[in-house]
Amino acid sequence: MERNCYLYDKTLTFNDVEYLKVHSRGDTQADVTEGKNGIWERLHYDWSDPLHVVLTTTDSNTWGGASGHTYTFTRRPDGLTDIDVVVIREGKNLKGQFLGLVLDTVGRGVLAKAFENSVKAMEARQSGVRGAA
């Protein structure tokens, strides 16, 4: 459990959130509200299958419907891991619909770069942890 909580807590810092509240956290799940720039969402994190992590939006001032994130991790023979990310954004109001359109077009590249930077930072941290042992 400690490893999951550590990764969970540290991963959120890469999102550069202004607001973060952990409502509950267990061995394989967490209930979190996070936000930035006046946009917030409450997410149910489920990592009961560590190779398929699902974040489901349960409440938001912007997103509704089937909004959420799914991360699928596939181990490769060379020891690396491929990460497939699927993000669903269904705007629940005009602001959400506009942001969804922006994210689906020009925002896609920005978000991909931010995700790559997060992965690199986690890899560097993991290398430092291994090197310190």
Instruction: Give me the domain span that covers residue 63.
Output: 2-132
Task: Convert the pLDDT of each residue in 12-33 to its tens digit.
Answer: 444 556 788 999 999 999 999 9
Task: Convert the pLDDT of each residue in 44-82 to its tens digit.
Answer: 999 999 999 999 999 999 999 999 999 999 999 998 888
Q: What is the pTM of this model?
A: 0.74
Q: What is the pLDDT of residue 113?
A: 78
- Work out how many domains the chain is built from and give that number: 1
CATH code of the domain covering residue 121:
3.30.530.20
DSSP per residue over 13-47, as a string? HTTT-SEEEEEEE-SSEEEEEEEETTEEEEEEEEE
